[in-house]
């Protein structure tokens, strides 16, 4: 049985007061027993969020990290620093990191390796841009992103990897991939993993969909066979919306 996962990526939102309010609303909701619910606050809110969510089954995860252990990297955070405050999962490769901060698949590969070496769990994001889909290159683009960033990893570490397929044209746009488009791509990704590794690695891997998941479309998307949950941006900032989404399985 694969994990069902709903992770909220807060991006650069929520100060300490908003964090407190949002998390207290989430805490008072019923978290389904069979869904792993995660929130990714900004770095400055990680410790407070850990404290507020103590004794709940909502995990606090990070939005990014640097591949280096330590050193002259002004403004950066290492895996060891995250582990030091018991943040054990990190999102790597979000499309905003790729497009705004120029993180290539080569750079992301180093980040993934560093996170896994620190015994962290990684949610690895990837997905095609609109033009690439329009020109029917989306499968090729996704295959290449996975090949460069992940396919040199040994099979043993895949138990600590979660994939998040996020078509760039659907992120923050209100435009969602149809459940069929998500299913087709997720099935393709699972096939690639089976080809490059083996069937059981592919079958055990959680593949999340991200891109304008909202309360009104979550159930339909999550009911697809190869969709194991969602990475949620905008809707994770509103307690009621996020609760409806993680309750939608
Ligand atoms: C995201 O940023 O990963 C995302 C999926 O955002 P949204 O849900 O707002 O489209």
pLDDT, tens only, 48-63: 999 999 999 999 999 9
Per-residue pLDDT of 181-206, as tens digits, reads 999 999 999 999 999 999 999 999 99
Q: How confident is the model at residue 166 (pLDDT cuts 50, 70, 90)?
A: very high
Note the pLDDT of residue 4: 97
Measured from the CB, is residue 167 less than 6 Å from ligand 1?
A: no
Residue with the smallest CA separation from ligand 1 atom 3 is: 233
Judge whether residue 173 has pLDDT over 90.
Answer: no
pLDDT at 172: 85
Contact 65, 77 (CB under 8 A): yes
* Residue 244 pLDDT exceeds 90: yes
What local confidence, expressed as pLDDT, does residue 11 receive? 98
Nearest-atom number in ligand 1 for the CA of 11 is: 2
The confidence score (pLDDT) of residue 47 equals: 98
Query: Which of 72, 66, 58, 54 has its CA nearest to residue 90?
Result: 66
Task: Collapse the DSSP code of 40 into the 3-class scheme (helix H, G, I; strand E, B; otherwise coil) and give the result.
Answer: strand
The CA-based diameter of the chain, rounded to the nearest angstrom, is 49
Query: Cα(176) to centroid of ligand 1, in Å?
Result: 10
Ligand 1: residue whose CA is nearest its atom 4: 233
In the chain, which ranges are E strands? Answer: 4-9, 35-40, 58-60, 89-92, 121-126, 161-165, 207-210, 229-232
Ligand 1 mean position, distance from CA 233 (Å): 3
Kindly report, residue by residue over 103-159, the tens digit of the pLDDT: 999 999 999 999 999 999 999 999 999 999 999 999 999 999 999 999 999 999 999
- Would you tell me how many other CB atoms lie within 10 Å of the CB of residue 138? 22
Exposed, middle or buried, 110 (CB in 10 Å: 0-12/13-18/19+)? middle
Centre of ligand 1 to C-alpha 232, Å, is: 5
What is the rounded distance in angstroms from the CA atom of residue 238 to the CA atom of residue 115?
Answer: 29
The percent of residues above 70 in pLDDT, for the chain, comes to 100
Asked whether the CA dihedral 209, 34, 206, 65 is positive or negative, the reply is: positive
CB 241 less than 6 A from any atom of ligand 1:
no
Question: How distant, in Å, are the alpha carbons of 20, 52, 53, 128, 145 from that of 140?
Answer: 42, 43, 40, 9, 9
């Amino acid at each position: 049985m694969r994990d069902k996962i709903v992770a909220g990526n807060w991006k650069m939102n929520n100060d300490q007061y908003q964090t407190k309010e949002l998390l207290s609303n989430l805490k008072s909701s019923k978290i389904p027993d069979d869904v792993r619910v995660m929130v990714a606050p900004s770095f400055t809110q990680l410790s407070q969020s850990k404290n507020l969510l103590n004794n709940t089954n909502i995990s606090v995860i990070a939005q990014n990290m640097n591949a280096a252990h330590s050193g002259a990297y002004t403004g950066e955070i290492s895996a060891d620093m995250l582990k030091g405050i018991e943040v054990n999962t990190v999102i790597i490769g979000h499309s905003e990191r790729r497009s705004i901060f120029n993180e290539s698949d080569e750079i992301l590969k180093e980040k993934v390796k560093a996170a896994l070496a620190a015994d962290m769990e990684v949610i690895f994001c990837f997905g095609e841009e609109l033009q690439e889909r329009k020109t029917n290159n989306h499968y090729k683009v996704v295959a290449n992103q996975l090949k460069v960033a992940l396919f040199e990893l040994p099979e043993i570490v895949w138990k600590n990897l979660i994939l998040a397929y996020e078509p760039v044209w659907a992120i923050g746009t209100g435009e969602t991939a149809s459940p069929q488009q998500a299913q087709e791509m997720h099935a393709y990704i699972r096939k690639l993993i089976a080809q490059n590794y083996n069937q059981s690695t592919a079958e055990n891997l959680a593949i999340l969909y991200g891109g304008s998941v909202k309360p009104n479309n979550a159930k339909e998307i999550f009911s697809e066979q190869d969709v194991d949950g969602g990475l949620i941006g905008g809707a994770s900032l509103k307690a009621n919306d996020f609760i409806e989404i993680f309750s939608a399985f």
